[in-house]
Structure 1
């Protein structure tokens, strides 16, 4: 474990040694972007640093409705609600469907944000498909992540195309897709809707692709209104208004940063000698690997990547290279050069 005293950008200095950082989830590099920070500070002066009241309060701030309308238009959904985090957004939806008359299925690699208690997460799609068929006629809900870091779901969602989705409610965590994938950063909602499930609900964190501390839920207006009427929603502190206002104000920044991220990803792939070494989703800036020695070798060469057990210390090691908009061309070329010279990378 490495402890630092400030937000990690493209580079980190540890004990006097400089490292390039290819980890985390700040895909657009917004947290350290000067123009983005100026917008955030301006909105803090208007809306304050936080908002601790319930969304059900008799005094309400209009920015919530404005931001939710902006997000709905971006994603292509009828409606949207925001929460203080993506995890809380996922838990609200999970709690809503955790009733005796719903049969819940958790696809391989489903994030813990969509889990309540000790539900079984399927190890493979084949068994999940078999169990779905066994329980046809029941009210079925499938939970899964859009980006599972193995390339199984996004962008084509091939496992879902084998199912009779007209009878199935889909709950998708798009935390690693929203803001950076889909048209205008709208993520996977529109594509998933084209598969015509019985019901589609998408949850996400807005901290990864949009750089603000908040979460969101997308779906039909009727289901969103039902979620708003729950104790879970009414009793929760909302997202910070200043963050939601910045989400709207930074639209042009998102466009530029997303274009830069796409170019950085293309540059990385173009200069890799062995791209098949990694598990990756098409057009996504993350590249997972299972060889534990690679992270150590990269660190010895001045490169730090994501490399820790998640979500608990007893879970599998999560190792991946993460590109961001903050990386410069020379950073990416240096990373590729180091990778291409490592025998452990070129022999697998």
Structure 2
């Protein structure tokens, strides 16, 4: 979306009204109505009761995690959970597959001492392009104080017609669900968001973490509120681009790919310099730290043309043959 001409025009017009930034606290005595309008619209988009926007996806995660930490919550992490949801600067993440982690989760919860528990996970494996199964939520015990926190930075705007992971998260009595996300990926907005129930989001808004941070620039939220048609057109174009990429790239057997998702992961890191020589820039870098293994991916966007995707496929065929 960030390169979409129609969306950029909406942002430019909104900047004329709101300026380039808004440095005040959201809890100050001056309130801009566009925040409540955009948050209500975002909540409707995913099907959540409420939404709260922040300056980044990292801040969204940390507002939630530090709130839970203040309640002396015990943290249970899923594989590859994004650092936005870490309660310390470093945490020990499971090295098992997501399937094995799901199987081990009931025993892990049983072994915990009494007290509130938070299960923190990503909505999708965006590094290796794989979907996660969330049916395990139905089997969680209702006698424990459990909060599920899902980072949907790589699902919001993509999964379930753009609603993200929320429709998959079973709403079970006694289990509280919160979703955090960067808005800077598919949504093209420089900020973050939290989805959940009104009571919990009201409590989060009262924290120093929320009150002390500057908000997302209001011009972008104003543009979002006016961009329904632009988002729909871009989403439709993205789906067509993904279909073409799947038709051309899947037969190379070079990639792991979740059907319908715009990421194609490969263990062939030598693809990066090869494609670069052919005028194609792929993602390939250590993540999330410089010590992490390299991760080489192709990311399809709505901004790509069919010609771009065909050029990519031709280069891959040259690489193979």
**TM norm structure 1:** 0.84
User: Which residue number in structure 2 is paired with residue 214 of structure 1?
Assistant: 191
SS in 1 for 2:213: coil
User: Which residue number in structure 2 is paired with residue 23 of structure 1?
Assistant: none
Mapped to 2, the partners of 1:91 and 1:298 lie a distance apart of 37
The counterpart of 2:279, out of the listed 302, 308, 315, is: 302
**Deviates further, 102-111 or 65-74:** 102-111
Q: Pairwise mapping of residues 1-150 of structure 1 onto structure 2 (< 5 A)?
A: 30-99=1-70, 101-117=72-88, 118-124=90-96, 125=98, 126=100, 129=105, 130-135=107-112, 138-149=115-126, 150=128
Mapped to 2, the partners of 1:198 and 1:76 lie a distance apart of 17
Q: What is the CA-CA distance between 1:321 and the residue it aligns to? A: 0.2
Structure 1: gaps spanning 5 or more residues: 1-29
Aligned 8 A contact 2:130 2:257 in 1: no
Mapped to 1, the partners of 2:308 and 2:274 lie a distance apart of 17
The counterpart of 2:157, out of the listed 175, 179, 191, is: 179
The counterpart of 1:170, out of the listed 128, 135, 148, is: 148
> What number of residue pairs does the alignment pair up?
312
User: Which residue number in structure 2 is paired with residue 27 of structure 1?
Assistant: none
Structure 2: gaps spanning 5 or more residues: none
User: Which residue number in structure 2 is paired with residue 268 of structure 1?
Assistant: 245
Q: What is the CA-CA distance between 1:209 and the residue it aligns to? A: 1.2
Deviations 1:272-296 (A, max 9, x none): 2536532233321011122211212
Q: What is the CA-CA distance between 1:116 and the residue it aligns to? A: 2.8
User: Which residue number in structure 2 is paired with residue 19 of structure 1?
Assistant: none
Distance 1:303 1:223, change over 3 A: same
Mapped to 2, the partners of 1:200 and 1:297 lie a distance apart of 44
CA RMSD after TM alignment: 2.1
Q: Pairwise mapping of residues 280-299 of structure 1 onto structure 2 (< 5 A)?
A: 280-299=257-276
Q: What is the CA-CA distance between 1:101 and the residue it aligns to? A: 3.3
Aligned 8 A contact 1:147 1:176 in 2: yes
Mapped to 1, the partners of 2:71 and 2:21 lie a distance apart of 37
